Structure 1
Amino acid sequence: MPRGDKDKYTDKQKRKAEHIEEGYEAKGVSKDEAEARAWATVNKQSGGGERKGGSGQKKSPAAKAKARESSARRAVATKHGVPRPGQQLEEMTKQALMDRARQQGIAGRSTMRKGELIDALRKAA
């Protein structure tokens, strides 16, 4: 017999376990083994008994979608070398500086060091 109290499981989980158990018994598995396998299956599929709160359940679906959209925009901006608000040229990576120099059409950028890129970008602005 499986250990533990089943009170924390939803009615749907209990019905599912009962249905799975019946299927195993029809195949000739003993009652105890069938019940153990059924509850193991329910636990694997749904993560166990009913839970209150926890990670990821505090935000509404709309709030999650907005956060993902905002995150995606920041990722694209970072990828393309767009500085974050208030970011100084000295804080940017050389690759980000190269991308900005490319966008501004600065000649000779491929052979410049980071300091030279910063100076060229300041002169071009």
Structure 2
Amino acid sequence: KADHIAEGYEKRGVSEKEAERRAWATVNKDDGGGKKSGSGRGKATGHPAAHKGGRKGGAASASRPKADRSAAAKKGWETRRKKAG
């Protein structure tokens, strides 16, 4: 799991060492650590970071005026129409 997260950080230009550090911090935050025998293993974790998806996006486009968004949508539609032939 940490490798997968570290890979994402590296793709975004974070150094390998820092990516590894952040990835493990994320994993520990996500599942609470404590997987040693006798620690009452197997507690539900909740995955707080995973719940943020979908709510975080869209702020940049929402802050643009309606006319800008509309123009961009029309431009995109026009391009798709032309490429479709």
If the TM-score is normalised by the length of the shorter chain, which range does it land in?
Answer: 0.3 to 0.5
TM-score, normalised on structure 2? 0.43
Determine which structure has more spread, i.e. the larger CA radius of gyration: 1
TM-score, normalised on structure 1? 0.30
